[in-house]
Amino acid sequence: MKLSHRLDKLPPYLFVDINRKIAEKRARGEDIISFAVGDPDMPTPQQILERLCQAAHDPANHRYPETAGLPELRQAIARWYQRRFGITLDPSKEVLPLIGSKEGIGHISFCFIDPGDIALVPDPGYPVYSMSTLLAGGEPHLMPLTEDNDFLPNLEAIPKAVTTKARLLWLNYPNNPTGAIAELDFFQKAVHFAGKHNLAICHDAPYTEVAFDGYRPPSFLQVPEAREVGIEFHSLSKTYNMTGWRIGMAVGNAQMIDALFRFKSNLDSGIPQAIQRAAIEALDGSQDCIAEHNSVYQRRRDKLVKALNSIGLRARLPKASFYIWARIPQGYTSVDFTTELLDKANVAVTPGVGYGSVGEGYIRLSLTLPDDRLEAGIGRLLDWHESRRE
């Protein structure tokens, strides 16, 4: 049996040894507190679930859905963007529902990348940007995100030999894994850069509604010329705690939306319609849950950042996302430090190098674990720190 050469381009899964160790410890009955996964621990709001259950009983929703999604859902997405960002979208041409935003992120590379083409990818960054580029036959060019530059890429530092072959520019703010933010002046520069170099921009924006201290992250599409060069991916997963329901959207440039629709229509059969009906309820219904969830995350953020800084790590208070990006003590690699916390404290975190080589020297911690588990995890970190000082 001969496997595709595409699979040869995919690097080994970095976390396989860590996950194996976690599984072994749990099999021995050890309690592992995990800060590693960015999956909301709070449930989907009740009114959304009630609409889902109601729609599930309708026989019309038992049949194949359309890949383009219900017209009512596309209209609800457009209304939400208008209310939230003041952006007017054509629901028939500039909105495409997705089976979770990850699906669209994985497929869009195949719409723009041919063998030998380049995608400009943030480092550290969400691994799917690079993986989808490689699977499409292209090459990722990594743009370093560093503390010195507030985790924004220096677009002007990209060599001309790279920009001439580049087809896509990936951006992600609020950022995973760093928690960094970008304002409209940066997006304006990115739009100008894309126009100058004939690039398409893909902005991954699932964390715009997870924000703190009164901050309201902008949409890339609020830049007037943005729709000429790009699209934005968004999701109901983090906003409404709907990760398990797999529903998101792409909005923006009509040509890019059509290309993504044509590609995915040959590969999937759309989002189950009962879930689409629940999504309409989420988008059009009360938005009170967002502030309620964010108040919980903000309280957790403050406690965790204070604890991390007290034990010798360096962590900023992020204005958005539910991630803490913490610099580890000198003398460790991020994998070594992750392994020590797992071995000595039964605490799981994510090594920064898993998001790219520039992530070395950091770990990522998620705020998506119940308060009692977070408190217990902080206690274990403090105990581990004390044990090192003895």
Alpha carbons 173 and 162: distance in angstroms, whole number: 23
Alpha carbons 150 and 153: distance in angstroms, whole number: 9
Q: What does the pLDDT read at residue 242?
A: 98
Percent of the chain, pLDDT > 70? Answer: 99
Q: What does the pLDDT read at residue 13?
A: 63
Q: What does the pLDDT read at residue 19?
A: 81
Low-confidence ranges of the chain (pLDDT < 50): none
**DSSP 8-state secondary structure symbol assigned to residue 202:** E
Domains delineated in the chain: 5-43+289-389 (3.90.1150.10), 46-284 (3.40.640.10)
Would you call the peptide bond into 65 cis, given omega within 30 degrees of 0 as the criterion? no
Q: What does the pLDDT read at residue 21?
A: 85
H helices of the chain, in order, are 5-8, 16-27, 46-56, 71-85, 101-112, 128-135, 160-163, 184-197, 254-264, 273-284, 288-310, 334-345, 371-389
pLDDT tens by residue, 180-218: 999 999 999 999 999 999 999 999 999 999 999 999 999
Question: How many residues are present in the chain?
Answer: 390
pLDDT tens by residue, 223-248: 999 999 999 999 999 999 999 999 99
Distances (CA, A) of 342 to 6, 13, 52, 305, 314: 33, 18, 39, 19, 19
Q: What does the pLDDT read at residue 8?
A: 83
Measured N-to-C along each axis, helices 101-112 and 254-264 cross at an angle, to the nearest 10 degrees, of 100
Q: What does the pLDDT read at residue 114?
A: 97
Alpha carbons 321 and 253: distance in angstroms, whole number: 26
Instruction: Give the count of beta carbons closer than 10 Å to the beta carbon of residue 306.
Output: 12
| 316 CB-near residues (< 8 Å, 6+ apart) | 179, 305, 325
Q: What does the pLDDT read at residue 11?
A: 75
